[in-house]
Amino acid sequence: MPCRVTGLRTTLTALAASLTLLLAGCTGDSGDGADGSGRITLEFQSLAWQKESVDANKQLVAEWNELHPDIRVKYVQGSWDSVHDQLLTSFEGGEAPDIIHDASDDLADFAYGGHLADLRPYLPARLKSDIPERSWQTATFAGGVYGVPFLQEPRVLVANAKLLKESGVRVPTPAHPWTWDEFRAVTRKLSGKGRYGVAWPLKEPVSATLNLSLSAGGRLFHRGADGKVTVRFGAADAVVPRTVHDQVNTDRSASGTTLGMGGSDTLPGFFAGKYAMVPLGFSYRQQIAQQAPKGFDWQVLPAPAGADGLAQGVSPQTLSVAEDSPHKKEAARFIDFLLRPPNMVRLARGDWMLPTGAEALKDPALRTAKDDWAVGTALAAHLSPAPAQSVRGYPEWKDKVATPALQEYYSGAIGLGELRRRLVDDGNLVLARYQR
């Protein structure tokens, strides 16, 4: 028995010693961004996730580090799935990365909360003039610029080229797109035995509806002279919702089952010829190119146009600098480097998206017919800030009012009058709370 006791004690002592040693070797760094030699280290949290995109980001960081031995950039991998909570906690705790990759529609709270630096004093003239004003607006809050918009994607129609050709319908181009009425007629024509003309993946129906509604002149959110925003739902706002509703419930040219799906979920049906077209973000081409069966012929078409042409809303990806960063100037220099036209092209190709920069957009690699890059670049000039971009209270309006209302309307559970009532009456009550 004494042996067992001694054995247990020895084991526990050894365990405690091992843990102490182990833990001593795992403590974090100081995080002040400077070492004894005066070299600065900036943390760059990137949300790139596709291999080509991660590679492009890492290569650019390596190139910067080679050129700037005194200003090292450390690549930190973030995740789209959890970036808001992670950043919020980091900001509150004063431990945010110096350079932050995010989407413009996630910046408002951080900008108003004083967590992001106003980049106006730091941005070089080259970068300011290269990105169009409409893109800058997506990251401008209360007169300050809190992010550099650098990648964006229009919503396009990805079509089964064979079915389109067989149907004999006119194939739209950016110069001559379908109208919304024409689109509805085409989807009726493309529907047939066990096949739908279109599959709307509307698991997140609000941003898709609002952004596409810009083409018909729909804005939904209207800012008054006093700066307060109210919701109005006019005839222009109804064009896109009514088209989707009627395709699903009247024409039966759109699948009702995909209304609750995400974009990726519709691809198997698209590849199997069950849906002739799917409205998707431009970057979905990467998945389609990778997953489509051999010989599957697909093509990208512009989204339908309305009274305002091909206009649609986007929330570009952005690069920001943390207000707490002691090296804002250096961080802005790195952003400038990362977004030089050739580098912006590399990032855009890695993410299968469009760059915001005018120079980068001219690059022949983004105007090729392969994978229909040219269709996307032709749409770039029509992209504007998403209507809800700077509306405070939008997330609550979206989650509590608009998402269930649009889902019910699209599924046929409520009519247009009830949709209007809920979006406007219930919606304005929500927004009012944020604007007292």
The residues binding other proteins (CB under 8 A) are: 1, 4-5, 8, 12, 15, 19, 22-23, 26-31, 43, 45, 47, 49-51, 54, 75-77, 79-82, 85-86, 89-90, 92-95, 97, 103, 203-204, 262-264, 267-269, 271-272, 274, 281, 284, 287, 290-294
Q: Which is nearer to other proteins, 77 or 173 (CB)?
A: 77
Per the listing, tokens 């009425």 go with 181
Q: Which is nearer to other proteins, 72 or 274 (CB)?
A: 274
Is the Cβ of residue 188 or residue 274 nearer to other proteins in the bound state? 274
Q: Which is nearer to other proteins, 140 or 315 (CB)?
A: 315
Nearer to other proteins, 41 or 122 (CB): 41
Nearest-approach distance from CB 212 to other proteins, in angstroms: 15
51: which 2 tokens? 């291999």
Cβ proximity to other proteins: between 24 and 225 the closer is 24
Write phi, then psi, for 423 (nearest 5 degrees): -60, -40
Residue 429 CB, shortest distance to other proteins, in Å, is: 26
Give me the least distance between CB of 50 and other proteins, in Å please: 7
In angstroms, the CA 267 to CA 281 distance is 13
Contact 409, 416 (CB under 8 A): yes
Which residue intervals of 231-315 are DSSP H helices?
A: 235-249, 263-271, 285-291
Helices marked H in 139-213 — which ranges?
161-167, 180-190, 205-213
Contact (Cβ atoms closer than 8 angstroms) between residue 54 and residue 83: no
CA 343 to chain centroid: 20
> Which amino acid, 79?
S
Interior angle at CA 179, CA 296 and CA 157, nearest 5: 25
> Residue 432 Cβ, how far from other proteins at the closest point, in Å?
26
Least distance to other proteins from the beta carbon of 415, Å?
Answer: 29
Which H/E stretch holds residue 376?
helix 373-379
Least distance CB 230 / other proteins (angstroms): 28
d(CA 366, CA 356): 12
